[in-house]
Amino acid sequence: MTADHGREAVYAAEEAAFGGTSYDSVVEFDELLWLRNALQSSSWWPEGQIVVERARTDAVSSTTRQGDDGQHRIRLAQLQCTPLTFAHEAAHVLAGVTSGHGPVFRRAEIDVVLAIFGSQPATWLSDSFASMGLDIAPRSWREPSAGPLQRVIDLA
């Protein structure tokens, strides 16, 4: 297994940007499924469908994997069922699961945060990465529309 350079620094930057906010608070799992549905159905999202599941009850961390069939699967640990953790894991999908937590991942996370939560939270994260000296790669996908994603009520 190769080293994932920058992982701890990314976690620290996320904590500095979002610690104590509603983005980093545990929510009902269905809320995260709503975020997944809204993100993957947005006109910007380039990566198709994502399977989001609860991790085993004893899991202490969340993961993102891509199966042999190309399907992306996010497993969220119970204590990490937060909007920020979902955005972090969705950024792994956008960047490619082999990107680790490097500059491409950091670009992806800023863009996912922008799409889901809006420009101010994306600026918090970008500024936090910059203050920790973490490089951000140029964007290799379309620029996202700024969120926050809106709830649409189906009246039919």
Give tens-digit pLDDT for 104-121. Answer: 999 999 999 999 999 999
Residue 4, pLDDT score: 73
Local confidence band at 70 (pLDDT 50, 70, 90 cut-offs): confident
Q: What is the SS3 assignment for the chain?
A: CCCCCCHHHHHHHHHHHHCCCHHHCCCCHHHHHHHHHHHHHCCCCCCCCEEEEECCCCCCCCEEEECCCCCEEEEECHHHCCHHHHHHHHHHHHHCHHHCCCHHHHHHHHHHHHHHHCHHHHHHHHHHHHHCCCCCCCCCCCCCCCCCCCCCCCCC
Taking residues 131-146, report their average pLDDT. 95
Local confidence band at 37 (pLDDT 50, 70, 90 cut-offs): very high
For the chain, the domains span 7-131
